[in-house]
């Protein structure tokens, strides 16, 4: 199971018999099912922007502490704390699609995942008691909104990539074509931070 929601599977329809020049006629790749490998519950879990929410919770705890000790009129470096809270909320919302783009691998429906996770972020932030929503926060409303969004988000499934849906190939012999279809493309490697030398 990958970190992000995956693009739907494809299967090969039968290739015709090899012709006199030992080349296969057109081979079509079509969707096996209109669903993805990810189940409804998998999609719900993968659409939660957990890593960015963890970062947000730390920053929000600092802001909440300032408001609790000094009030909503408190200043942080000359800037009202509520303005800083809004800036933190919007900055984290921008970080969600950037993070999804950074962790995506070959075959991930990262655009769908980024869109749904970005929309999910304010619902989760509100439910976690974001300082920016302090004047409007209600625990019951937060639970209702989060429950509704969570149920609906699992219904959002990525579409099959049209470049994979129909492809005609006549340039390879039948044996090589079937072998290349079974080959799985290598996953993209992301740069890793080396903490050993620190």
Given the structure tokens 């509704």, which residue do they identify? Answer: 148
Q: At CA 153, angle to CA 164 and CA 33, rounded to 5?
A: 30
Total-model pTM: 0.65
Contact (Cβ atoms closer than 8 angstroms) between residue 173 and residue 22: yes
Instruction: Report residue 185 as tokens.
Output: 């493309």
**DSSP sequence for the chain:** --SSPBPPPEEEPPPPPP-TTSB-----EEES-SS-SS-HHHHHHHTS-HHHHHHHHHHHHHHHHHHHHH-TT-EETTEEHHHHHHHHHHHHHHHHHHHHHHH--TTB-HHHHHHHHHHHHHHHHHHTT-GGGGGG--HHHHHHHHHHHHHHHTT--PPPPHHHHS----SSBHHHHHHHHHPPPPPPPPP----TT-
pLDDT at 74 over 50: yes
pLDDT at 3 over 80: no
Its sign, for the CA torsion 40, 41, 46, 48, is positive
115 against 178, higher pLDDT: 115
Q: What is the pLDDT of residues 138-181, one digit of tens each?
A: 999 999 999 999 999 999 988 775 555 444 444 445 555 555 55
Share of the chain above pLDDT 70, in %: 66
pLDDT, position 36: 45
56 against 73, higher pLDDT: 56
């Amino acid at each position: 199971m990958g970190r992000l929601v995956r693009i739907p599977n494809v299967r090969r329809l039968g290739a015709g018999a090899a012709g006199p020049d030992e080349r296969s006629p057109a081979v079509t790749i079509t969707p096996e099912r209109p669903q993805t490998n990810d189940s409804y519950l998998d999609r719900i879990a993968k659409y939660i922007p957990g890593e960015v929410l963890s970062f947000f919770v730390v920053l929000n705890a600092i802001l909440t502490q300032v408001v609790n000790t000094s009030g909503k009129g408190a200043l942080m470096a000359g800037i009202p704390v509520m303005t800083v809270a809004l800036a933190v909320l919007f900055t984290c919302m921008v970080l969600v699609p950037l993070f999804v783009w950074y962790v995506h691998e070959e075959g991930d429906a990262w655009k769908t995942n980024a869109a749904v996770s970005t929309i999910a972020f304010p619902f989760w932030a509100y439910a976690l008691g974001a300082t920016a929503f302090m004047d409007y926060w209600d625990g019951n409303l937060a639970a209702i909104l989060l429950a509704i969004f969570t149920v609906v988000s699992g219904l959002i499934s990525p579409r099959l990539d049209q470049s994979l849906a129909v492809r005609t190939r006549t340039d390879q012999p039948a044996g090589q074509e079937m072998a290349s279809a079974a080959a799985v493309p290598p996953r993209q490697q992301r740069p890793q931070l080396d903490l050993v030398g620190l």
